Amino acid sequence: METTILRIEDVAAQAAEIAAAGAILRGGGLVAFPTETVYGLGANGLDAAACAEIYRAKGRPSDNPLILHAADRAMVDRAAREVTPLAEKLFAAFAPGPITLILPKRAEVPPSVTGGLDTVGVRLPESDIARALIRAAGVPIAAPSANLSGRPSPTTAAAVAADLLGRVPLILDGGACRFGLESTIVDCTGDRAVILRPGAITRDMIAAVAGAADFDPAIEKQDAAPRAPGMKYTHYAPKAPLTVLTGERAHLAAAFRREVEKRQDAGETVGLVVSAEMRAALHDLVPPTLMAIYGAQGDLVAMAAHLYEALRYFDDKAVDALLGEGVAPEGLGVAIMNRLEKASGGRRIEA
Ligand code: AMP
Ligand code: MG
């Protein structure tokens, strides 16, 4: 299959191209498109055959449910049977934006889309390209991240192409994604908010609106079974095995130095996914081409935005192992550490 990559500079001026992409979706085809979180691989979320194409293109396990994306609050009602009072509060506070709410599903949503669950994840993206595309399609759009299953989510059209070229007819290129991590997922089926996947909308932000918010135990404890089925899979993984180093900043550089030296002595070529400060501290040990910077220390917004690109940077480099710099698990740092843990399969060194 030939893949067209179409740059979208101006949604209004390119209305005809967006309409054509919407027609592909309505007709059962796939379109990859940018959102403010990561790039999504879209299909008509009410069409089981179209969604089956998503699972095929990504190589995604069939029990991992898809999130449905709506253009406006009214379209949410085509996916969800009931929007609970808790969900109304969270939509009012954070939608459109990087938050997905789990709600009771409508019968019209095929069971294959929700992994057989009686609930559905719904999100209202903020990206103007995403909204225009969904509006053009006229139906809720199922859109998991536009990567091969298990790989880091794409935050640029080039990263989508690296995984899906030849597997999808159309990729809309809207430049780099603003947040760079997948949406926060909140179970809103009860009266208490339960966060199933951390993201840019943090626990404190949700608690401020909902009165309280809990993390699904699987977010804090690795051996608990997650309630978001997709969270049990190895995810976001770069091609070379990643180990994450965490601890006090004062000790972290020394721990990196020891670990790099040990591995280099063993003949390994090591790549680093680190802060600008850590690069400066280790510049005598590792060449600049083997260090991907994902932000300045403490700038969690930048680190979230650049993490996946930093992991993907090494895809075509001859490295035996990657070492990644962890962050304090607070605020947005919870989401960054959650992705680093999954990307590393839990391999971690505490400084
Ligand atoms: P992705 O679209 O790649 O960001 O993955 C979607 C994530 O949402 C996966 O971790 C799913 O397990 C989770 N998810 C989707 N629908 C539901 C649902 N009804 N209940 C719980 N988790 C869900
Ligand atoms: Mg994904």
DSSP code per residue over 90-149: HHHHH-SSSEEEEEEBPTTS-GGGTTT-SEEEEE----HHHHHHHHHHTS-EE--BSS-T
One DSSP character per residue, 300-316 reads HHHHHHHHHHHHHHGGG
231-245 CB burial, b ≥16 within 10 A, e <16: bebebbbbebebbbb
Map tokens 């919407």 to a residue.
22
For residues 130 and 34, the answer to whether their CB atoms sit within 8 Å is: yes
Rounded to whole angstroms, how far apart are CA atoms 193 and 184?
A: 12
Cα dihedral 44, 49, 50, 52, rounded to 10, equals: 120
3-state SS assignment for residue 338: helix
Cβ of residue 182 lying under 6 Å from some atom of ligand 1:
yes
Ligand 2 centroid – CA 284 distance (Å): 36
Positions of the chain with pLDDT under 70? 222-223, 233
* pLDDT for position 349: 97
3-state SS assignment for residue 266: coil
Cβ of residue 119 lying under 6 Å from some atom of ligand 1:
yes
Cβ neighbours around 229 below 10 Å, total: 17
* pLDDT for position 222: 66
Cβ of residue 144 lying under 6 Å from some atom of ligand 1:
yes
- Among 120, 196, 232, 339, name the best residue to mutate to test ligand 1's pocket (greatest count of ligand atoms within 8 A of Cβ): 196
Ligand 2 centroid – CA 153 distance (Å): 6
* pLDDT for position 206: 98
Cβ of residue 189 lying under 6 Å from some atom of ligand 1:
no
334-351 CB burial, b ≥16 within 10 A, e <16: bbbbbbbbbbbeeebeeb
Cβ of residue 114 lying under 6 Å from some atom of ligand 1:
yes
* pLDDT for position 250: 87
* pLDDT for position 301: 98
Closest ligand to Cα 144: 1
Protein residue with least CA distance to atom 21, ligand 1: 228
Tell me the backbone φ, ψ of residue 7, rounded to 5 degrees. -75, 130
Token pair listed for 268: 């390994």
Cβ of residue 295 lying under 6 Å from some atom of ligand 1:
no
The terminus-to-terminus CA distance of the chain in angstroms comes to 48
Closest ligand to Cα 116: 1
